Amino acid sequence: MKQIYLTIALALVALCTSAQVTVTEDEITPSSVTLSFAPGNDVASYYVCLFDEGSLESQFAMWSMFMGFQDYGDMIMAWGFKNEGTTTKTWDNLAPANTYDIWIQSLDADGTKMEPQCYKVTTAAQGGEEASVINITIGEYGEEEDVNGVLQSYQWVKFEPNDQTAHFFDFIITDAGYNEAGGAEGVKQILKDSEGQPQYTFYSTDNDRWNVVKGTTYHAVAIGVNAKGEWGEMAEVVFVAGEGTQSAVKDIVLGQKNNGPIYDIMGRKVTNLESGKIYIQNGHKFVK
């Protein structure tokens, strides 16, 4: 079995070296890549799709039976964009210092698929060697009815990293939850435990609204990491929902239950909620 997987892995590496379409890097930033594609004379049309590095095989295994993909090319064509000549494409909202596979499926004049090819591109790093600092701003409070006609309250909270920050984590939590977690040190550890979990990682300003209960005291908390992998100090702001006051906080907001379906941060519908995890309900974030 190991030999089979090794053969597949070597085949994928080989595919990454073929080139019916020439790729040029036009601009690389920490959060985006802009590439130009120029097809060869034998290429009538081609499809281009971005994947996390090394994920093509696992994505195919996951989706082929549901979407009827017969090979990698079918998946690239279904998910990628089509072009018939030289073109330029930008991908945004990428993670800094991260490598991605740009998979290309070319077709000849008869519509026959050629071997898929892969181009690897790495986003630029961000952050500096000084301390990561996160600024927290408590924004507008509001109320609105959900899909079931139940009045829901929300508070906007903005977490802004300085230019030394490579990435950061944030949330808001009730005063009771803050104390239950062990105060500042306990909450700081919860934030740090998010390291290595892309769904909870932010690279630029996080400005979102959280479900709250008017008159309840919350802690907005956040902590960042610089380019050297060093943790900064935890930022914290204490505020009372609906009063518009603030102190200087970072990270999670503890929300309340609504009546709509609940999804995790990856968009998957869930029924069993785990304490300390972020969920989305009726378009709003909350923490169990």
Burial class (CB within 10 angstroms; exposed 0-12, middle 13-18, buried 19+) of 107: buried
- Name the domain boundary from 62, 91, 122: 122
Helix (H), strand (E), coil (C) string for 191-205: HHCCCCCHHHCECCC
Using one digit for the tens of pLDDT, what is the confidence trace for 240-255? 999 854 433 333 333 3
CA gap 138, 153 in Å, rounded = 14
In terms of domains, do 241 and 280 share one? yes
pLDDT value of position 3: 44
pLDDT value of position 199: 87
CA gap 255, 237 in Å, rounded = 17
Q: N- to C-terminal Cα distance for the chain?
A: 42
State how beta strands 151-161 and 165-174 pair. Answer: unpaired
User: Rounded mean pLDDT of the chain?
Assistant: 85
In terms of domains, do 171 and 36 share one? no
CA gap 138, 241 in Å, rounded = 9
Q: Tell me how many domains the chain contains.
A: 2
The answer to whether residue 129 sits within a structural domain is: no
The parent domain of residue 107 ranges over 2-122
In terms of domains, do 42 and 96 share one? yes
Using one digit for the tens of pLDDT, what is the confidence trace for 60-106? 999 998 899 999 999 999 999 999 999 999 999 899 999 999 999 99
Q: Which residues pair with 219 in a beta bridge?
A: 173, 238
Q: What is the mean pLDDT of residues 146-163?
A: 91
Does pTM top 0.85 for this prediction? no
In terms of domains, do 105 and 153 share one? no
